[in-house]
Amino acid sequence: MKLSLAKIPVQNRFCRKCSSQIKSELLKIQDITNVNLYPTDSLVVFSFIKANELSVALNILTALGYPPQGDRVNAKFISPICSCF
């Protein structure tokens, strides 16, 4: 199976400390590997095999308060887990 790389810029900022929680949630998804977070760029990068896993990862990021840039979400229902800023 071929691995694909996802580079997802997210809307909300997060710190290095809070990155570990985001990473652990993404690693719970089957066939998601090599998760790296770049807080200064608000960027999430990971490898995946199937498009379904990418979709699940995007849903998890949104639920955690980090929707992909360009997504329109109701801010009343989405608050980031990182409250360091």
Query: How are strands ordered across the β-sheet holding 43-48?
Result: 4-9, 43-48, 33-38
> pTM of this prediction?
0.87
Q: For residue range 23-66, what is the model confidence (pLDDT) as tens digits? A: 999 999 999 999 999 999 999 999 999 999 999 999 999 989 89
Q: For residue range 10-19, what is the model confidence (pLDDT) as tens digits? A: 998 998 888 9
Point out which residues pair with 36 in neighbouring strands: 45
Statement: residue 84 has pLDDT above 90: no
What's the token pair of residue 35?
């998760």
